[in-house]
C-alpha cells in the first residue's frame, strides 16, 4: 500500500512539474521579437522539463520493480534440542534372584528352604590351572517342611558359566544335610571367575538360603597359566 501511494505522488509531481515548465516556456509572445537570452531561457526550461519527466518516470519504474518483488517471509528460528544420552544399563552383579512363592506350613516355615553350611572344597579365591576340571561341593541343610526329591536340581543362575548343573541323588528330608556337587572347568584365560547356583524344586522354581531364600551357592576361582 505504501509503494502504491509513492507511485501516485510521483506521477502527480511529474505532471505538475511538466505543466509548470510548459507554462513557463509558452508564455504569450510580446509584439517585439524575443531576444537571444529569452530564447535560450525557453530552450533551457523545455530541456529541464524533459529531464524532470525522465527522472520521474525512472522513479516510477523503480517503484513498480519494487512492488513486483516477492514479499520476504521470516523463517522460523531453529531451536536445538539436547542430544539424547545413550546411558548403558548398570549391571548388577550378584543380585539375588526373585524366588518363586513356595507353599507355607502353618507355622510360617516355607515348604522349601535351606541353610548353607559351608564350602566342602575349593573355598573362594582358590587358584586353579587354566583348563583344569574338578568338582565343586557345598554342604547344605533342608530347613523347610517338605522333602527334596530326586526331581530337584542345582542349576547355574548367573555369573561366569564355568560349570554344569548338579543333581539331587536321593531324597532329603526336613532337617537332613546334603552335599551338592557340580562339575567345573577352569577357563583357558587367566583371571578371576565367579559363578552362582541355586536349588530348583520339581516345578523348576528356584530357592536358596538366607532370610528371603534368595542367596545362591557361589564359587570364586583364580585361574592361572
Record the cell numbers describing residue 167, joined without a space.
Answer: 543333581
Q: What is the pTM of this model?
A: 0.54
Give pLDDT tens digits for 2-60.
455 555 555 655 565 555 545 555 554 445 666 766 666 676 666 666 676 676 577 66
Give pLDDT tens digits for 127-184.
999 999 999 999 999 999 999 999 999 999 999 999 999 999 999 999 999 999 999 9
Q: What is the CA radius of gyration of the chain?
A: 53
Distance separating alpha carbons of residues 3 and 71, to the nearest angstrom: 13
Question: Residue 95 pLDDT > 90, yes or no?
Answer: no
CATH fold of 114-224 reads Immunoglobulin-like (2.60.40)
Strands 166-167 and 133-142: unpaired
Question: Residue 99 pLDDT > 60, yes or no?
Answer: no
Is 154 buried (19+), middle (13-18) or exposed (0-12) by CB count in 10 A? Answer: buried
List Cβ neighbours of 147 (8 Å cut-off, separation of 6 or more): 171, 172, 173, 174
Residues in the chain, overall count: 225
Strand, coil or helix: 105: coil
Q: What is the mean pLDDT of residues 117-122?
A: 98
Amino acid at each position: 500500500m505504501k509503494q502504491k501511494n509513492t507511485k501516485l505522488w510521483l506521477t502527480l509531481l511529474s505532471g505538475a512539474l511538466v505543466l509548470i515548465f510548459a507554462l513557463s516556456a509558452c508564455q504569450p509572445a510580446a509584439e517585439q521579437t524575443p531576444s537571444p537570452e529569452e530564447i535560450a531561457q525557453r530552450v533551457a526550461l523545455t530541456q529541464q522539463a524533459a529531464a524532470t519527466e525522465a527522472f520521474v518516470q525512472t522513479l516510477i519504474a523503480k517503484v513498480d520493480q519494487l512492488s513486483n518483488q516477492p514479499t520476504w517471509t521470516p523463517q522460523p528460528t531453529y531451536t536445538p534440542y539436547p542430544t539424547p544420552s545413550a546411558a548403558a544399563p548398570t549391571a548388577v552383579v550378584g543380585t539375588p534372584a526373585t524366588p518363586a512363592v513356595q507353599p507355607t506350613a502353618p507355622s510360617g516355615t516355607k515348604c522349601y528352604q535351606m541353610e548353607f553350611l559351608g564350602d566342602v572344597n575349593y573355598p573362594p579365591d582358590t587358584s586353579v590351572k587354566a583348563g583344569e576340571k574338578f568338582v565343586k561341593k557345598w554342604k547344605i541343610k533342608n530347613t523347610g517342611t517338605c522333602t527334596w526329591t530326586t526331581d530337584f536340581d542345582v542349576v547355574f543362575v548367573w555369573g561366569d558359566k564355568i560349570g554344569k548343573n548338579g543333581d539331587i541323588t536321593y531324597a532329603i528330608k526336613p532337617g537332613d544335610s546334603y552335599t551338592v556337587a557340580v562339575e567345573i572347568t577352569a577357563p583357558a584365560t587367566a583371571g578371576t571367575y565367579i559363578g552362582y547356583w541355586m536349588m530348583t524344586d520339581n516345578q523348576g522354581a528356584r530357592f536358596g538360603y538366607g532370610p528371603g531364600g534368595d542367596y545362591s551357592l557361589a564359587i570364586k576361582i583364580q585361574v592361572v597359566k
